[in-house]
Structure 1
């Protein structure tokens, strides 16, 4: 439960502007994704995401995605209290 709480605190920090740099990046990425999804037909988005998630294991990377890595490195509330 502690890990889930830490992830929730990181998400709250993104949307409450406690870390302005991370919040700007988050809002910018959300805006870019919204524009891209608005411009593409839903069927194309579904096919592209299906091809991505069902790719061969040889083409997968052992490192976590950059977005997940960035989110995990955000400070939780317990880190900010120290």
Structure 2
């Protein structure tokens, strides 16, 4: 489920420090990574580190729960 996908992402990011905010689109969408198209939940994480805002968009495989891509959107 989308809630489980968000828990996976939050757990992975919490290992590197606290999270300020998060979001998820609850409807899976097609996403191409390494030439393969998979259905993913698109999630996002926001946090502050060393006085700088960090924002990431994270794609989670809707079938396996594996993180398939992380995009730094604050860069």
Q: TM-score range by the shorter chain?
A: under 0.3
* Structure with a larger share of its residues in helix: 1
Superposition TM-score, scaled by structure 1 size: 0.24
Give the greater-gyration-radius structure (CA). 1
Q: TM-score, normalised by structure 2?
A: 0.26
Ranked by relative contact order (alpha carbons within 8 Å, sequence separation 6 or more), the top structure is 1
Question: Per residue, is there more strand in 1 or in 2?
Answer: 2
